[in-house]
Amino acid sequence: MRQKIVAGNWKMNNTLNETKELLKGLKKELKGVKLDNTRVIIAPTFVNLQHAVKKTAKSILEVSAQNLHEAKNGAFTGEISADMLLDIGVNVVILGHSERRAYFNETDEALAQKVNTAVAKGLDVIFCFGEQLEDRQNENHFSVVESQLKEALFGLQAEAFKNIILAYEPVWAIGTGQTATADQAQEMHEFIRGLLAKSYDAKLADSVSILYGGSVKPNNAEEIFSKPDVDGGLIGGASLKEKDFSAIVKINLIG
């Protein structure tokens, strides 16, 4: 069933001590908050995942990785496998973030392999995609998004979508303070749901959570989350501040 989700992508931030502090702060801010068909996910860096899993065991927070390698194991220096994540209690992974695509050359083809591995292992995937500024200016944003989804994701069998959370993140809105308007987010999310309905069926389309990401803050989350096809957000900068992230979580629970 479609869920409301707020996920925090911590990126390459927070030492172990800073992770401890932020987790403490988050647990305090979110104390007493009850989840109702909703999820709250945080994605610390690899080296702090194990600590985060331990410290969030009795909280509403779930822990996600920010990447994985598609191979089972082997000679892939510096990489992390799905089994390694599962082994320490991490059941969610972010894949396809625009920073991975831009700085680490992750192509749709490579992402399809990562997604297939993650889903085969039973991990939930927060799959990110979205157009560049130039694509939007040239009015190519719908076709770019369609191609990213078709190439990396639509090879999956329908039942795999129970493990998929979509995160539409227009690249021009990430870390720029320039968020998409709520109407722009809704328009794209509706389009994405339409693609799911066409490629699979309407029931599946209705069951998949689609998050918006890109400069979501406490002061704009309410308007964005109020849109019918927006099921929550993937939060970068604001997820590093316990008060901001908790405020966004609470807005999503109410909205």
Residues with catalytic function: 97, 169
Determine, following the binding rule CB under 6 A, whether residue 9 of this chain makes contact with ligand PGA.
yes
SS3 163: helix
Distance, first Cα to last Cα, the chain: 17
Q: Select from 23-31, 43-51, 181-189, 211-219 the region that touches ligand PGA (CB under 6 A).
A: 211-219
What string of DSSP letters covers 86-107? HHTT--EEEE--HHHHHHS---
Determine, following the binding rule CB under 6 A, whether residue 170 of this chain makes contact with ligand PGA.
no
CB of 135 to ligand PGA, least distance (A): 17
Select the residue whose beta carbon is closest to ligand PGA and give its number.
236
Which residue's entry shows tokens 């406490």? 218
Determine, following the binding rule CB under 6 A, whether residue 106 of this chain makes contact with ligand PGA.
no
Determine, following the binding rule CB under 6 A, whether residue 213 of this chain makes contact with ligand PGA.
yes
- Is the Cβ of residue 7 or residue 253 nearer to ligand PGA in the bound state? 7
- Is the Cβ of residue 81 or residue 227 nearer to ligand PGA in the bound state? 227
CA distance 126 to 49: 17
Specify the long-range contacts of residues 70-76, CB closer than 8 Å, at least 24 apart: 70/110, 70/113, 70/114, 70/116, 70/117, 71/117
Pull the structure tokens for residue 98.
């625009």
Determine, following the binding rule CB under 6 A, whether residue 237 of this chain makes contact with ligand PGA.
yes
Gyration radius (Cα) of the chain, Å:
17
Q: Given the DSSP bridges, would you call strands 4-9 and 210-213 parallel, antiparallel or unpaired?
A: unpaired
CB of 40 to ligand PGA, least distance (A): 15
- Is the Cβ of residue 53 or residue 235 nearer to ligand PGA in the bound state? 235
CA distance 40 to 231: 12
- Is the Cβ of residue 232 or residue 237 nearer to ligand PGA in the bound state? 237
Site for ligand PGA in 37-76 (CB under 6 A): none
Interface with ligand PGA (CB under 6 A): 9, 169, 174-175, 213-216, 234-238
